[in-house]
Every structure is written in structure tokens, then in C-alpha cells.
Structure 1
Amino acid sequence: MNSPKMTLINKGIALKLLKRVDVLSESQSLALDIGGSLAKIIYFQPDGANRRKEKTDGIPKLCIDYLDPKREGSSLSVRVPELNGTLHFFCFETRNIEDCIKFISEHYRQNGKEKRRVRATGGGSYKYDKLFSEVGVELTKLDEMCCTVAGLTFLLTHFDHEVFSFLYPDGSLPPPGLPESAPALAECRRFVDARPDPFPYLLVHIGSGVSIVKVTGHGQFERVSGSTIGGGTFWGLCRLLTNCKTFDEIIDLTKEGNNERVDMLVGDIYGGDYSKVGLGAGVIASSFGKVTMRKEPPPTFSNLRKAWRRVVCGTFWLWCDFMLNVPILGHFLRRLGLEKHLRSRIANIHFGKIFRAEDVALSLLRMISYNIGQIGYLNAKRYDLPRIYFGGNFIRDHPYTIASISYAVHFWSNGQTQALFLLHDGYLGALGAFLGGESTISENSYSEL
């Protein structure tokens, strides 16, 4: 099946898509996963529900199909024959959850005063429970870990084109930096067939933080480790160091970065390979290490002029940021591409005189990815688990992230362990909530949903 890409879509686009779907008349199931950073929605549209009269190639079109073909989020719908319907996926920042609540209150409520129940998981299902209740929607709160494991197990046992490793067509491992000539992400996917019995396995779920879960059977799982260094760490540091305002903006920056300008490599220390311990010159010895290698310039008139130039330039970009927030004028300046130039500037003027935002973003991405890959492998080795699945909103189908995690697992396991990824990695909790949140559901039970 074709998979929805884990795309963080604009709040207005998400609500527009949901409105065109017409939740009240078509939906039999709406599930939410409200995390600390992102809110994920899965909406199930049964076959034949509220179809319009127009047809294309003899197939009735769904309401959602009537949006512009070039619309953002066009790949966020998947036909699932096993469920006799189509799943629609939406993801936007949790800080906009009030708009989602308002939408549901207007379009997902039964007649009279009776409340409509919605399955929900994640910390936000507790945090925002009162807000939902005030608009006549009652959340059926489900355990987050149960939902995540149930969602993953469903995907592992039912879909051949769901789990993949990241390899070149010739079977070699792509470098974490990915040269410009590297094949597209789809060409690097080596899919693994569905397994009726995928146990045991290790799930490394990367959200704002990281949860590491050992799963040994249906309903048999244990959170064995975790880390505070996750997607929230990456995004938080990026917001401090750059002018980016969204996660996707920072991901776009990484595509133009070169982390070797920021990271200290083995070659920077030894002048080449450290062959005695098997470390090549290009291996990162210290993330952001080159920041410490820079000498502060002495107080001369020449350096004084450079400092004055930085002050003037910094003031100019601050005024640009101010003008972008001016109504009408800001819209015009964005059309001219000023915002893109602004977010590629380092927020710290002193730091920015030496380093580029693109390089800093890629260095942060690889630092976080390497750390997650390492602790994932160490836990798999600790419990002798043959398979490691990496999922969560941090990955976002981004080739640099996937390549970095794959490289870390390959490096620390000496090529004996392979990192596995999922097409629907960011929707495991929402999918589990849609299924009912019961990780004890047996394989045969899915057909009854």
C-alpha cells in the first residue's frame, strides 16, 4: 500500500482537510494521540461513506479527494482492505490543540446534549481532557505504551511494505552524511515481509524524549530504558541556536548543512586515521567540538571593525524579523523569500560570525541520532533481542535521520545488527488508539475491528 509520509502540516490545512472529510456523517472512528510537541489524528472513513456522485475511472471519489491535487498532505490517506475503508492521517503542533478541539466540537457531536466519545492517548489526553469536556466531547483515555505497542504489532503482522532497513540497492550502507548524488529515500528502502509472530523485538520510540520497550508477545511488554535526549532536545536546541520557527524548517536546513564545519573529527585530533582502535579520520570525536578549537581574536582596530560590522548586520536582521511580523508587509516580504534567509541565520550573533545555521542543524541532528542509535543497540544486546524498530515523530521519513541511526547501530554492532524503520513511524500511538489500545489483541482479532 502507499504510505502517508510523516508530514507536519499547517494547522489550517489540517482543519480544512478534516472539514472536507465531514467527520460527523462519515466517521465510525476518530482517534487522537496528543503528545507534548505534536498532536496526531487518525480518522477512519468506511467504504461507501458519504460518497459524492462524481466518479473517476468508475470509482466514486471520497470527499477528501476533492481538494487540490497539489494540496499539502495529499499522501496522508491510505486504503486498508483489511478494515474495509480508508485511514486519513493528520499531524500538527500541540500548541494548536485548541483549534482541533473547536473543530471537533462543531463537526463531531451527536444531537442534543449527549457527548460524543473519542479514543485518545498520550499525555495531552489528560492535560486537555477538561477542554474537550467543555465542548461536549468525552475522551476515552487509553494507555500510551499499550497503544504504541498495539499499533506497531498490527503493522508488523499485516503489511509487507511497512518495515524497512536503509540500504543502497547494492546492499551497502549509505553514509550518514548522504552525498547529493545519493538515491532517493524510497530507493534505499529494503522492505521486510510481515511476520505472524514478530516477537521478541525492541521498540525505540522517539518523541519529545525516548522510550525503549522490550516486547515479547501480545500484551507482554516492558519499558526497559529511555532517554531525555530526544526529538524535544533537538528541536529545543535548534530554536535556541537558529531563527527557525517550525520543526520542518530546521529539517530543511539540515539538507544544506555540513557538520564537519562544526564537529571535531578524529582527523582533526590525529591528523588522519586512528588505526590502532579502528577509527577513521572522518569519525566524529566530539559533536560541536570545533567550537572549542576557535581562538578568540585579540583586541585590535581591525577586529574592532569586524565586531562593528557584526553589530550592524545583527541589527539589520532583527529589524527584518520585526517587519515580518507587520501585517500585510510581512506577507509581502515572505513572498519575496526574506523569511527563508532569516531562518538560515544563527540566532547568536557572536556564534554566527563563524558557523552557519545549516551546519549547526545537521550537527545537532547527527548528535541526537547517534546517541539514540547507540542506546538502542546496547539495550538490544543487553536483552539479546534480534530486531530493533525505530519509530516516532523525530524520524519524519528524513533520510539524514534514518541514515545516521542506521550508521550508529551498524558501527556499534560491527555490522551484526540492523536498524529497522516504519513507514507509519509517527502514528503508532494513534493507530493503537484506533484499534482500541489493547496490546493483548491477538492476530486474529484485528479482522473483527
Structure 2
Amino acid sequence: MSQHYANTHVDTAIATADDADAEHHDGGFRPRAMTNTAEIDSTISHPGSVRINVKGAFIVDGTEQPATPANGYSNANGSYHEGKDIRLPNHTAVVSHIAVDIGGSLAKLVYFSREAHSTEPGGRLNFHSFETDRVDDCIEFMRHLKDNQLALNGSKPKDLCIMATGGGAFKYHDKIKKALGVDVLREEEMACLIIGLDFFITEIPREVFTYSETEPMQFVQPEADIYPYMLVNIGSGVSILKVSGPRKYERVGGTSLGGGTLWGLLSLLTPADSFDDMLDMAAQGDNAKVDMLVGDIYGTDYNKIGLKSTAIASSFGKVFRMKREAENEAEDSENTTHDHLQPSQQIQESSSNTSSVPQPKTRTDAVSRFSASDISRSLLYAISNNIGQIAYLHSHIHGLSHIYFGGSFIRGHPQTMNTLSYAIRFWSKGEKQAYFLRHEGYLGAVGAFLNRQPRNWGRRGSFEGDGAALEERLRERRGGDNEREMAA
């Protein structure tokens, strides 16, 4: 096993690219056969884990869709196919489970499928997301996968199991179980995030990258020596985790100002119907029309403290002044019109106004001077800058130089990544680095997928921790079997 999964009794076991052909056995090495169904069956009586053989794994670039029966399912009603499947050319074992991470805003789905009509071995991990408000569509998609289990990966519909994590694993547990008629196993959310991130960092080429405007997407090679590091997971809210080893983590901070904040405020301020619409608008906007910049105050850079003229001094700082100017212009225009009325018309209008209740200014009056795109970009910067600075402060407190940003808030959006990356470089004076992932929103779902325990492994939770209690029970069982054999 690779270094970060060296513990024999952790729930996840991965055959890595370096050691898939051999593994430790009685102090030496023995050849390792390709994963097969018999091996999985043996783990029921010989505790270990379902092995996901990632030798030769790679990301399928482009918009290519997986050649599976699920390919015909309509991606409507708030669903989204990621289009960055992970090809597992050497994984041949049956996989009879689906993993879903249901958060406050999005439900992320991960499932394995074989290549339809292909003579090549292996298959791929597929990534799909749904808006949580449309969780029924997500469940219907899982029903579709269940009905096609035999064609997808060789297992039967009755063998399907759902691994669920996130808050929705509790909120929608009974609903999923009743709708699909399958086991729904809940997995701890933070643990799944770390399992998923460790998998991506150490096993998948061209997954992790750094980002800046001058050097976008500089890929980082997978490595085994990754601890300690910090994970900033940006979903509806933000959780900041310090990770010191496999399954060794603590939540050290966070903020309620996350993706849900951006989504909520922009749904009030703009006509956007989805988070992707908001990101598209932000990409076209000019925050300088909304934000007060250093140059607006000083007329130039503020070099003494290292601030460029384009740095944001106050998010939305121009709104009040410009809004007031617009209102004054409207009043002046109204007064000018009133002065041009005939005396009899002025008297009639005055009489009418005294009997009517003053009308409040409408939303259109307040924001008509600002475009939805400019507002979107300004708020995106405000949320991202806040998260970046909080992330740096926690990394400084805990002495961590590797900072990974995950969560569906990022969505591969250049402005978001550049803002977060710039904040880390600026505040750390270039000593710390921000890292991003191509599957940033699926850490928890992939962790739940890898955390799958075969059916009939006994009491849930018996394989947690360092496995000492389990090992003791196995020794006792083996001792009892030997005694019965001798008695016979």
C-alpha cells in the first residue's frame, strides 16, 4: 500500500501506480494479481477493503461523455455532468455502489461504469451534480443507474448500495431508501473530504494545479509525502481543516460567508437563475464600477503598504454615492418637469399628492445604474477575498504552507481561483501556495465512494480507528477455530 494508506485496517485500500503489482507480505513482497471478484469476496472473511485499482488512471479531458447506458439520461432540471471522468484502465472488479454527497446547495454523485462495447478492461468514475432543491431528480437518476447496474458494471440491481455523506445523508436518508429500496449507508462528512482529497493528491495525474493570471493551471505531480496540509472546503459555508496524516484532522475554523452567501445575495440582486449563470455574469462584469478602489481614494498606487491602484479598498463602496447621485438627478428632473407645468396643472398635482401615501423607492430605482454582471463580479471578489484572507490566517497560525481549496463554490472559475491564489501569495509574501483541483466539488463524494465496506462485514464502525479492537477480535476468533479443530 502507498504510504498514506499504510494502515492495514483503514476502510479504504488503494492499489497505487507504484505498488499495484506487488505488496508487502510477511516482510517481503509477493506478486499482486489484478483485482477481481474473488478478491473482493475474500475480504468478507479476510478483513481489508475493496481495492480500487488506480494503476494508469487518468482524467478524460474534453467534453467526451462516458460510453455507458447512463449516457442517454437527460441532463435537465438542474443536473450537470462534469465531463471529466477518471479512466481506470486496470480496475476489473465489480463495483456495486454509488456515492452521493448532499450539501446545502448541491448534491454530488460519483459512480463507476464499464466501457460499453469496448474490448478494453477497466472503466471509469463518473461525476454528476444536481441542485439540492431538486433532490428528487438526483434520486431518479440513481434509480436509472440501479436499473442499468448489470450493463454498467456487471452487478445486479439488488446488489446496489448507496454511500451517502453531507447533511443530506441524514435529511434525505429515508426518502432515498424508500424510493430505491436499497441500503443507504451514511459516512462521516469531514472524513470523506480528507479521503477524497488524499486520493486526488496522491493518485491522479493532472488533478492538482496552481493558478495565476500569468500562469494558469500549472499541474502538480502526484506525491505520497503530503502531510501536513490545510483544506479550505467552500460549499454553502466554509470549513477549514488541518490534516496531519491519514484520517488525522481537525476543523480549525470556517466562516458562514461562502457559496450560499454569494448564491443568495445574487439571486436577490440579479436575474440569474443558477449558480453557473452567476459565474458567467461575473466573468463579464467590471467590479470597478461597483467597488471603491485604492486609486479612487489616492489617485494612484499606495506603494508604501504594497497596494496597487486597482486593489479593492471597499467592496460595493461606490454604490451609495452613485445611488444618491442617481436619486438627486431624478429629483432634479422631476422638479424641472414640474416647473414647466401650467399653474392649474401644478395645483391639481399638488392636491393629488397630498391625498396619496408616499411610495417607497423600488428595487429598480436602487440598482438600475449597476449591471448584474458588475454586481456579480464585485460580490464574487468580496466573498473570495474574505475566504482567502481567513485561510491565510489559519495557515499562519498552524504553520501550514500547502493550502488546498475544494468545494463547489470554485467550479473551475478563473476569477475565483485567481482571487484566492493572489490572497494567499499577498498575505504570505509568497511563502505559501494555494492549490486547486479539477474535481474540487467531489471530494466528499469520492471519499464516500472509496469508503465502501462490503456487505456482511459486521457491525458498522468496527473498522474505525487504528483497528486494534478488530485485530484482537480476529485473534480470538482464530484461536477458537484452532481449538475446535484440535478437539475434532
- Separation in structure 1 between the aligned mates of residue 437 and residue 334 of structure 2, nearest angstrom: 51
1:126 and 2:192 correspond? no
> What residue identity is the alignment partner of 2:135?
I
Checking the alignment, whether the CA contact within 8 Å between 2:97 and 2:160 is kept in structure 1 is no
Higher relative contact order (CA 8 A, sep 6+): 1
Checking the alignment, whether the CA contact within 8 Å between 1:42 and 1:87 is kept in structure 2 is yes
2:203: which partner in 1? 158
Match of residue 237, structure 1, among 245, 265, 276: 265
1:263: which partner in 2? 291
Q: 1:38-117 maps to which residues of 2 (within 5 A)?
A: 38-46=106-114, 51-52=116-117, 59-60=118-119, 84-105=122-143, 108=146, 116-117=160-161
**More deviation, 27-36/347-356:** 347-356
2:312: which partner in 1? 284
Deviation of the 1:275 alpha carbon = 2.8
Deviation of the 1:11 alpha carbon = 3.3
- Separation in structure 2 between the aligned mates of residue 419 and residue 305 of structure 1, nearest angstrom: 56
Q: Could you say which structure has the larger radius of gyration?
A: 2
- Separation in structure 1 between the aligned mates of residue 371 and residue 450 of structure 2, nearest angstrom: 45
TM-score by length of 2: 0.65
Q: 1:404-419 maps to which residues of 2 (within 5 A)?
A: 404-419=419-434
Superposed CA deviations along residues 367-421 of structure 1, whole A, max 9, x for unmatched, are 1111111111111111001200001100001111111111111111122212111
SS in 1 for 2:448: helix
Q: 1:28-427 maps to which residues of 2 (within 5 A)?
A: 28-46=96-114, 51-52=116-117, 59-60=118-119, 84-105=122-143, 108=146, 116-135=160-179, 136-167=181-212, 174=214, 188-294=216-322, 295-296=324-325, 297-298=327-328, 300=331, 302-303=333-334, 348-427=363-442
> What residue identity is the alignment partner of 1:253?
M
Label 1:274 to 1:150 Cα distance change in 2 as closer, same or farther (>3 A). same
- Separation in structure 2 between the aligned mates of residue 292 and residue 200 of structure 1, nearest angstrom: 45
- Percent identical across equivalent pairs? 44
> What residue identity is the alignment partner of 1:85?
G
SS in 2 for 1:196: coil
- Separation in structure 2 between the aligned mates of residue 210 and residue 3 of structure 1, nearest angstrom: 29
> What residue identity is the alignment partner of 1:98?
D
What is the number of equivalent residue pairs in this alignment?
345
> What residue identity is the alignment partner of 2:198?
T
**More deviation, 113-122/415-424:** 113-122
Superposed CA deviations along residues 254-288 of structure 1, whole A, max 9, x for unmatched, are 12100000000111112222233222211110000
1:329: which partner in 2? none
Checking the alignment, whether the CA contact within 8 Å between 2:98 and 2:160 is kept in structure 1 is no
Label 1:352 to 1:303 Cα distance change in 2 as closer, same or farther (>3 A). farther
1:71: which partner in 2? none
Deviation of the 1:292 alpha carbon = 2.4
Checking the alignment, whether the CA contact within 8 Å between 2:99 and 2:109 is kept in structure 1 is yes
Deviation of the 1:440 alpha carbon = 7.1
1:429: which partner in 2? 444
Label 1:248 to 1:106 Cα distance change in 2 as closer, same or farther (>3 A). closer
SS in 2 for 1:370: helix
Label 1:161 to 1:305 Cα distance change in 2 as closer, same or farther (>3 A). farther
Checking the alignment, whether the CA contact within 8 Å between 2:300 and 2:309 is kept in structure 1 is yes
SS in 1 for 2:284: coil
Deviation of the 1:105 alpha carbon = 4.0
- Separation in structure 2 between the aligned mates of residue 115 and residue 304 of structure 1, nearest angstrom: 76
SS in 1 for 2:59: coil
> What residue identity is the alignment partner of 2:165?
T
SS in 1 for 2:430: coil
Match of residue 10, structure 1, among 64, 70, 76: 76
Label 1:107 to 1:425 Cα distance change in 2 as closer, same or farther (>3 A). closer
Checking the alignment, whether the CA contact within 8 Å between 1:409 and 1:419 is kept in structure 2 is yes
Label 1:138 to 1:264 Cα distance change in 2 as closer, same or farther (>3 A). same
Gaps (5+ residues) in structure 2? 1-57, 66-74, 84-93, 150-154, 338-361, 453-462, 468-488
Checking the alignment, whether the CA contact within 8 Å between 1:160 and 1:193 is kept in structure 2 is yes
Label 1:144 to 1:5 Cα distance change in 2 as closer, same or farther (>3 A). farther
Superposed CA deviations along residues 158-198 of structure 1, whole A, max 9, x for unmatched, are 1231111114xxxxx54xxxxxxxxxxxx711111111121
Checking the alignment, whether the CA contact within 8 Å between 2:192 and 2:443 is kept in structure 1 is yes
